[in-house]
Amino acid sequence: MRTALVHYWLLNWRGGEKVLESLCRLLPDADIFTLFYDPRTVSDEIRRHKVTASFLNPLRSQYRQLLPLMPMALERFDLRGYDLVISSESGPAKGIRTSPSARHICYCHTPMRYLWHLYPDYMREWLPPWKRAALAAVGNRLRRWDRASAARVDEFVANSENVRRRIRSAWDRESRVVYSPVAVEKFYWREPEDYYVVINELVPYKRVDTAVRAFARMGRRLRIVGGGPEFKHLSSTAPPGNEYCGRISDMIMLEMKSRSFAIIMPG
């Protein structure tokens, strides 16, 4: 059985990419298709597979601005000859076209936030004026495409009950829940030190700025792990007691978690 894995983009090492890595272990002969690919950002397991990037890949440094072109880029992938296609969805990955005989399963982390449940927040406060105008101009067309492309999926799998509800709301499709894999054997406990930790991609919907303000008000020490477009702004305006660690290795992150008083999830 020939299998293809479709992931929205491979430019970071976050939760979605770790799920893809698990799928690669389950399906060692699968080929990978993605809109954008930087091999330096992914694990050896993913690099071991044949990875095909879209024609947009030379522009990957500006990938956030290329949303209107992503549906066309996905639909140009040739997946004829594959019997099973598994799309990993948080961007527009499920929009690929498969052969009529193939089975397409979408493992969904969430429908695109900036088109659906967080669209009002992006339009009111999280985007600069020119980006709001751009999203308003293409938003309706992209939502129609996103909803129509959901019909190409044979079965949806959600990573949580919360996402199952979002799938029903955005696409009017039912799904079953399969929780994301967690390497629980790697976790350990240490006597906690006097700090809390946030581990997130620094993007608006994670609401890290809310945690920063709250901990500054309480006078508690907060360590923030992660990178992203909000890093420069948040780190430059950090109040005393906040420490921005950037992207760190999994080993250092586990040690930081094990010694923290608590992990904060402001999103």
**Per-residue confidence band for 231, with pLDDT thresholds at 50, 70 and 90:** confident
pLDDT, greater one: 242 or 8: 8
Q: What pLDDT is stored for residue 203 in this prediction?
A: 86
pLDDT of residue 29: 97
> How many angstroms separate the Cα of 146 from the Cα of each of 2, 92, 113, 135, 238?
26, 7, 12, 14, 38
pLDDT tens sequence across 54-112? 999 999 999 988 989 999 999 999 999 999 999 999 889 999 999 999 999 999 999 99
Burial class (CB in 10 A: 0-12, 13-18, 19+), 39: exposed
Per-residue pLDDT, 101: 94
Question: HSE of 11 in the Cβ direction (CA atoms, 13 Å)?
Answer: 18
Q: In this predicted structure, what is the pLDDT of residue 258?
A: 93
CA distance linking residue 96 with residue 114, whole number of Å: 20
Question: Residue 27: what pLDDT?
Answer: 97
